[in-house]
Amino acid sequence: MSKEITSRSTDYSQWYNDLVIKGELADYSAVRGCMVIKPYGFALWENMRDVLDKMFKDTGHVNAYFPLFVPKSLFEAEEKNAEGFAKECAIVTHYRLQADPDRPGKLMVDPTAKLEEELVVRPTSEAIIWSTYKNWIQSYRDLPILVNQWANVVRWEMRTRLFLRTAEFLWQEGHTAHATRQEALDETVKMLHVYADFVENYMAVPVIKGIKTPQERFAGAEDTYCIEALMQDGKALQAGTSHFLGQNFAKAFEVKFSDRDNKLDYVWATSWGVSTRLIGALVMAHSDDDGLVLPPRIAPLQVVIVPIYKGDEQKAAIDACVQTLVQSLKSMGIRVKYDDNDNARPGWKFAEYEMKGVPLRLAIGARDLENKVVELARRDTREKSTVPLEGLAVRIQQLLEEIQQQLFSKALAYRNEHITPVDTWDQFVSMLDTKGGFMAAHWDGTSETEEAIKEKTKATIRCIPLDNKQEAGHCILTGKPSAQRVLFARAY
RNA sequence: CGGGAGGUAGUUCAGCCCGGUAGAAUACCUGGUUUGGGACCAGGGGGUCGCAGGUUCGAAUCCUGUCCUCCCGACCA
C-alpha cells in the first residue's frame, strides 16, 4: 500500500525517514532544515519532557525563560564559545519590511530599519544567561543558581536530518552557578547521571557515560561529559551532554561573588542539555521494518483496542465490554485508545498501529466475548496470544513493564556485542567497516592522532568512559604508550 | 557549500526526450454491501504542473533564475 516502509537492509537512511514521516512523528516544512513536529511526535516529546522536567525538579532545579535573541556583543564575550558557534549562527539585522516599489504586492527589507547591533538567534544560551546572572549574584548566599529552560535553538547546519540534526530544534538547557569548583563538578556529573537514568529507564536505550576528549569538547567548556548510544546501523549517537564550564563564563561576563571570608571570586558554572534529537535515537534504537517500536513508558499510546464486529448489535456488546476495560486501564494511568472508527477495517488498523509503534494491541470480537477472552498482540515481539478478560488490566500493566524491560535488554545486548576491543590498526579498520559499533582501542592521548584517525576512517573518539579500566597498551595508530582504551565509532 | 536525483490531485507517481489546453493508483465525498491482517460495487469532487521570468500563435514539456526536499561528501557542543 501507500504506507510501505523501506527495509533497513535496502536503505537505512530511507528506512529512518520513512518511519519518521509515515509514523507521523514529523513532516518536512517550507523552511530549509526545519521540520514540523506532528501531534503524535509532539506527544512523544511531551512525555519525554514531562519525565525529565520532574527529574530536574527532584534534583532541585527550577525553570525560567531567557530571550531568543542575543546581542552580538554579548554573544562574542566568551571567545571560545562564540568562535565554536560562529559558523552556524542566524543573525537578525533588520526589524522592518516595506512594500517593494518594483514588485507590486511584494515586500522587501526596509534598508532604513537596520539594527544598531545585530542580534544572534541563540544557538545556545550561555551568553544571554550569564549576562543576566551577573545581576543575580553578589554573595555566596545567592548560590547555587539551578535554572533550567525549555526552549528552541537555531544552528544553521549545512546538512540536516529529521530530528537528528535540524536547523531549529527543541531542547532543555540547564545553566547552573556555584560557589566552588567541586560543587560545579558534582553538578555536572549528577546531571549526566540523570540523563543516563532517563534514556535507559524510560527510552530503553542503553548509553555509555564518559568524558569527551579536548577535540570534541563543547566550545567554552573545561570538560564535557556525555552519554553515547549505539544505533542499529552501528553508528554512535551523542544523546546528551553535561559541561563543566569552570569560571570561563563568569570571567567573560564579570560574574563575581563574595565568599564567607568576604573574598571576591568568580562563579563556577555548568550547562547541560538534551534535545529532540533523542527522538531520533529512540526511533533508530528499537524500530523494525514494520515501523516504529516505542517503549511503553513514553509511548503516546500504550494500548489500542480494535473491535471486530458484524452489525450494530455485536458492536454494542463489544462497546459495553470495552468501556469497562478502558476505565480500569485509565484508572491505572495507562494510555489507552479504543479505535471504533467504522471507516477503517481491523486489518488496516492493525497495520497502522504497528507502524506507529503502539506497544500493545487488543482485538475483541463476538467470538471473544462469548469465551470471555481477547486477542493480545505485542508490538516488540509480534507475538499474539488469547488471554482471559478476567484480570486483563493488571496483566496489561505487567506486560507493558515487561516490554519496557525487554526492549532495554535487547538494545543492551546489541550494544554490548558491538563494543569490540581491537589492538591493531588493521583490526580497527576492518572491524569498523564490517561490524561497526564501538571500538575499544588504545590511543596515545594526542589531538593529532585523534584527528589523523578521523581523517583516515571517519571514526571519532566518542568518549573516555567514566571509571574506565586502566590498562597499559600501545596506540593503534602511532604505537606510542597508552594507559587506557577509549571508545571510537563513526557517529551521527 | 560541492556532486547526484527530484518537486505534476491529500499521497505515491506517469506524462517532458519529440510543445497543442492534465492522467493512473490510492486517499477523499455520497449510497449500499462489508468488518478475525491494509474490503467491494456504483456514482462524485479535487491540480494556475514548486515559484518567477523568458522563447513561442501556443509551455507541465524548451531556456534562465530562484526556493524546497532526498542521497553522497565537506561541515557539525
Task: Please state whether strand B lies within 7 Å of residue A375 at its CB atom.
Answer: yes
Angle at A125 between CA A120 and CA A128, to 5 degrees: 75
Distance of A374 CA from B28 C1′ (whole Å): 33
Task: Please state whether strand B lies within 7 Å of residue A84 at its CB atom.
Answer: yes
- Go through chain A and tell me how many residues it has: 492
Task: Please state whether strand B lies within 7 Å of residue A229 at its CB atom.
Answer: no
This complex has an ipTM of 0.91
Q: Which of A272, A273, A298, A317 is nearest to A400 (CA)?
A: A298
Half-sphere exposure of A71 (CA within 13 A, CB side): 9
**How many angstroms from the chain centroid is the CA of residue A362?**
30
Query: What is A12-68+137-286's CATH superfamily?
Result: Bira Bifunctional Protein; Domain 2 (3.30.930.10)
Q: Which residues pair with A305 in a beta bridge?
A: A338, A362
* Domain boundaries of chain A, sorted by first residue: 12-68+137-286, 303-400, 419-489
Q: Sign (positive/negative) of CA torsion A247, A252, A63, A44? A: negative
Distance of A24 CA from B9 C1′ (whole Å): 21
Distance of A467 CA from B23 C1′ (whole Å): 65
Task: Please state whether strand B lies within 7 Å of residue A56 at its CB atom.
Answer: no
User: Cell 550561555 maps to which residue?
Assistant: A126
Which pTM does this prediction carry? 0.96
Please state which CATH class domain A303-400 belongs to: alpha beta
Residue-by-residue pLDDT tens, chain A, 492 positions: 346 788 898 888 889 999 999 999 998 887 888 899 999 999 999 999 999 999 999 999 999 999 999 999 999 999 999 999 998 999 999 898 888 887 777 778 888 999 999 999 999 999 999 999 999 999 999 999 999 999 999 999 888 999 999 999 999 999 999 999 999 999 999 999 999 999 999 999 999 999 999 999 999 999 999 999 999 999 999 999 999 999 999 999 999 999 999 999 999 999 999 999 999 999 999 999 999 999 999 999 999 999 999 988 999 999 999 999 999 999 999 999 999 998 899 999 999 999 999 999 999 999 999 999 999 999 999 999 999 999 999 999 999 999 999 999 999 999 999 999 999 999 999 999 999 999 999 999 999 999 999 999 999 999 999 999 999 999 999 999 999 999 999 999
Instruction: Output the nine-digit C-alpha cell for A34.
Output: 526545519
Instruction: Output the nine-digit C-alpha cell for A348.
Output: 488496516
Bases of strand B lying below 7 A from some protein CB: 1-2, 10-12, 25-29, 34-39, 67-77
Tell me which fold the domain A419-489 belongs to: Translation Initiation Factor IF3 (3.30.110)
CA–CA distances in Å: residue A478 to residues A129, A241, A373, A450, A458: 43, 30, 66, 10, 17
Q: Which of A335, A345, A328, A307 is nearest to A1 (CA)?
A: A345
Nearest nucleotide (C1') to alpha carbon of A349: B38
Residues 6 or more apart whose CB falls under 8 angstroms from that of A480 comprise A444, A449, A474
Nearest nucleotide (C1') to alpha carbon of A355: B38
Name the E strands within A276-326: 303-308
